[in-house]
């Protein structure tokens, strides 16, 4: 089994066909679940890429473990999307991972609206630390990163050494374009967050997400007005 501890710079990995119907995603998921089994978990934000991955994962492992980082700052539409997913895929195990601090406890300790005064600290408390706890028993985790999403994600590969969490990070959708994602969603009539139809290509916490300014940068609506581009889950 390939783990964080056994990874080296030239591991012997299978070749995943980018030319397949799912641009290698189905093959990657089949390999990953065959390789890691129950030691593989999917951390899903329930954005549009997540909806695609949930469909593909359900075909490979219907009872897969799914983690949602419930910051308690999410849009109501996000929670509504999760409920629809539960109905569509009743066998999936969806765990709503909570932060160690409630919003009130966080405000008492660090001040009101930490997301505004220290967004990196807020993300660390409500996303990074909860994910670290949630995936600690696992060897590998799945992410919906795509190369096209931003400059910081262009170097993402199917299998990545995650220095931050000391895991192997599996990214099946790296070669998918925005159009590929939506074609798949419409072809299979999948439920998705309605905010995507209102100018939100990337959906995070309600406090820190606005409609995108440009189609060239699908994450431009995240942390508008600051130089912050990532919540910390995908940075070493």
What residues are labeled active site? 231
**Alpha carbons 56 and 69: distance in angstroms, whole number:** 21
**Alpha carbons 132 and 134: distance in angstroms, whole number:** 6
Residue 143: both structure tokens together:
């992410």
What's the DSSP call for residue 198?
A: G
Residue 9: both structure tokens together:
């710079």
Question: Do residues 231 and 204 lie in contact, with contact meaning Cβ atoms separated by under 8 Å?
Answer: yes
Question: Do residues 100 and 220 lie in contact, with contact meaning Cβ atoms separated by under 8 Å?
Answer: no
Say which residues have a Cβ less than 8 Å from residue 4's Cβ, sequence separation at least 6: 139, 161, 162, 166, 167, 168
């Amino acid at each position: 089994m390939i783990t964080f501890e056994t990874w080296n710079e030239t591991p012997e990995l299978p070749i995943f066909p980018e030319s397949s119907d799912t641009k290698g995603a189905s093959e990657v998921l089949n390999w990953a679940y065959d390789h890691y089994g129950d030691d593989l978990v999917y951390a899903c934000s329930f954005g549009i890429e997540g909806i695609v991955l949930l469909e593909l994962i359900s075909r490979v492992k219907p009872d897969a473990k799914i983690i949602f980082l419930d910051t308690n700052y999410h849009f109501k539409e996000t929670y509504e999307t999760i409920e629809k997913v539960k109905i569509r895929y009743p066998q999936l195990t969806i765990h709503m991972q909570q932060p160690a601090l409630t919003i009130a406890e966080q405000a008492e300790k660090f001040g009101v609206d930490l997301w505004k005064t220290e967004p990196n600290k807020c993300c660390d408390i409500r996303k990074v630390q909860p994910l670290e706890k949630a995936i600690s028993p696992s060897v590998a985790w799945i992410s919906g990163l795509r190369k096209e999403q931003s400059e910081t994600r262009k170097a993402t590969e199917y299998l990545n050494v995650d220095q931050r969490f000391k895991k192997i990070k599996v990214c099946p959708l790296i070669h998918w374009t925005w159009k590929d994602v939506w074609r798949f969603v419409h072809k299979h009539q999948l439920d998705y967050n309605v905010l995507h139809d209102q100018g939100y290509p990337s959906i995070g916490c309600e406090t820190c997400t606005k409609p995108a300014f440009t189609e060239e940068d699908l994450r431009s609506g995240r942390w508008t007005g600051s130089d912050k581009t990532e919540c910390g889950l995908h940075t070493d």
